[in-house]
Structure 1
Amino acid sequence: MSALIEDDLIVGAVDCHVHACPHINARSLDVIEAAREALAAGMTGLGLMDNFANSSGYAALARRVLGPVALDIWGGLIMEPPAGGVSAEAVAIALGYGYGPGTGARFISLPTHHTRHVARGEGRSPLYVEACFEVPETGPLPDPLPEILDRVAAADVVFNTGHVAASEAVRLVGEAKARGVQRILVPASHYDDQAIAAVIGGGAVAELSYFFASPAADVPLTHVDAEAHVIAGVSIQRMAAIIRRHGAANLIVSSDCGVGILPRPVEGLRLFLRLLAEQGIGPNDLRRMISDNPARLFKVAA
């Protein structure tokens, strides 16, 4: 893929997964810089994620600083313990948090690090694992998850299943749909084909993130506390195979950039598109996954 085609794909792109907010790891840029760079590249949407706070306030501030521009910026809540945990009250606050109507959270995510699935993979202590979130295989959903899903459905925002095990994600998609949630995003870079087919078949969109195909996956990082851990990488060949098998209509690609050891988000997104193109993924499919699908899912303003 030539640089000209890459630039053409960036124009109109929507990156729904950018970590430019404050963190205990170094960030490559701040929220305002991320917004200005996305705007300069001709992108139309930018989603801010933060493991320590509801990022809706950052998004609302960025929109106020930039003024009326052709870039939709939004945030949301990852229900990590520092951000209030898996809490219906925290969700209610996030949904209304900003500068007036329509500026609140556009996504609500289950934890990305404090799940038993991740904690077991990191070799955490039994007490630590026990304190983390998990979806049981059978029986009722644990409180307050039913109320959270009802609030997400009423607000018509995105429910992100977080970093749970594949079987948990499959159950969550079904439970969310049953409670009226229409917008569901599943981080699926590490899932097998059976699980990806199940979440897509259940009405969710699957997300593939550049972070996991990047060198950052080989570097121990401090994500939520003093312990540094390596996150398993996923080859670009595997990601291309997922796209070919499950179809671009059912997938979103994102940069997941902002950590200091990676390119800045716009450049990370360009690199991800180039790597996928080198694996034979065509420009129409790339545009669908980087523009059309995330714009529709997150209700990006035209």
Structure 2
Amino acid sequence: MANQQDATQSRSEIVDSLLRGAVDLHCHSGPSIMERKLDHMEEIRDAEAVGLHAVLFKDHFYSNTPVMQVLERFREGNANLTLLSGVPLNNQLGGLNPYAVEHGLMLGARMVWMPTLCAHNHLTTAFRYNLHGRLGLREPTRLSVLDDRGRLKPEVKDILDLIAEHDAVLCGGHLHVSEMFPLFTEARARGVTRMLVSHPTYWIEAKLDDLKELSALGVYLEHCACMLIEGPSRKFPFEALRDYVDAAGLDRTIIGSDLGQTFNPKPVTGFRAVIELCLDLGFTVQEIRTMTSTNACRLIGIDPPDDPL
């Protein structure tokens, strides 16, 4: 148990020490067409205040890589916080668009998300309300990486080659788990070594056996604070996290926040809550560090934090 490792530390001190050096690969701050609880600069300040090591800023509709470059130049505070970004392949960037991927990666993006809110799975199987209509957007084209015969589309293969060339991370987005296996199998064959599935048991509809198989392919599984901690977005009982870790293995498990929505806690607040949840579930301090920092650093390709726990 964590409290047996260092009886001189209070629970609050243990949580504080785990926040220092943590990495959040799933932050939804703004500006965004979707209303957010905080903007990028506010998130940076919150992350710096607790000593986070890195944050990856995600928007479903645009690549914020240029924004991060500007903020990196002009922000004040702890320069040790690494700002990361990616390229989302929804309709607003042309869908499965190799040109958008090439441009984003050349600017320094570290992750490429397969379709999320425009994924065929998201719009038909998993998330059956018209968010685009609520936002005043055009009706989306439903995107899949597979053609009508179940084969990967040529443009997806081009995108995989670009990800391999830039040693970036391939994230499965909101594709269905049945699309993930041919995608990641082909990605490996084309030299992609960094692969991720976010919230695999929600929207993606992966079962525990799927987590085990994805892990065996070399894929990291990211479980999100917003779906585990108390709050309006909670989808699973707290204890489910233990089952997810047992299925995929500790060394393939990552915890992100997936926070920034107006109705949820701020990302750093949610990250603190999920660390406390991990302590409640009996994970050791080092195991929590592995899931909240070490694995994310290895996946994204940055050095881990210097300071020991």
What interval of TM-score do these two structures reach, taking the shorter chain for normalisation? 0.7 to 0.9
> What is aligned with 1:171?
182
Distance 2:113 2:192 in 1: 13
| 1:272-291 matched pairs, under 5 angstroms | 272-291=274-293
Gaps of 5+ in 2: 4-10, 131-138, 305-309
- Equivalent AA in structure 2 for residue 212 of structure 1: M
Q: CA deviation at 1:282?
A: 2.1
Distance 1:265 1:18 in 2: 7
1:119 correspondence with 2:123: yes
Distance 2:85 2:50 in 1: 20
Change (3 A) 1:260 1:278: same
Distance 1:41 1:285 in 2: 20
Q: CA deviation at 1:236?
A: 2.1
Contact 1:91 1:108 in 2 (8 A): yes
SS in 1 for 2:170: strand
Distance 2:48 2:128 in 1: 41
Change (3 A) 1:152 1:135: same
1:207 correspondence with 2:222: yes
Change (3 A) 1:294 1:76: same
> What is aligned with 1:109?
113
1:7 correspondence with 2:16: yes
| 1:144-159 matched pairs, under 5 angstroms | 144-159=155-170
Q: CA deviation at 1:255?
A: 0.6
Distance 2:140 2:64 in 1: 26
Change (3 A) 1:236 1:71: same
Gaps of 5+ in 1: 98-103, 219-232
> What is aligned with 1:16?
25
> What is aligned with 2:258?
256
> What is aligned with 1:189?
201
Contact 1:258 1:265 in 2 (8 A): yes
Distance 1:262 1:238 in 2: 20
Q: Scaled by the length of structure 1, what TM-score is found?
A: 0.86
- Equivalent AA in structure 1 for residue 197 of structure 2: V
Distance 1:199 1:234 in 2: 20
Distance 1:267 1:217 in 2: 14
1:238 correspondence with 2:240: yes
1:72 correspondence with 2:77: no
Of 152, 164, 167, which aligns to 1:141?
A: 152
Distance 2:212 2:247 in 1: 9
Amino-acid identity (%): 27
Of 47, 60, 69, which aligns to 1:51?
A: 60
Q: Scaled by the length of structure 2, what TM-score is found?
A: 0.84
- Could you list the structure 1 runs, at least 4 aligned residues long, displaced by more than 6 angstroms after superposition: none
Aligned length: 280
Change (3 A) 1:122 1:254: closer
Pairwise CA RMSD of aligned residues? 2.1
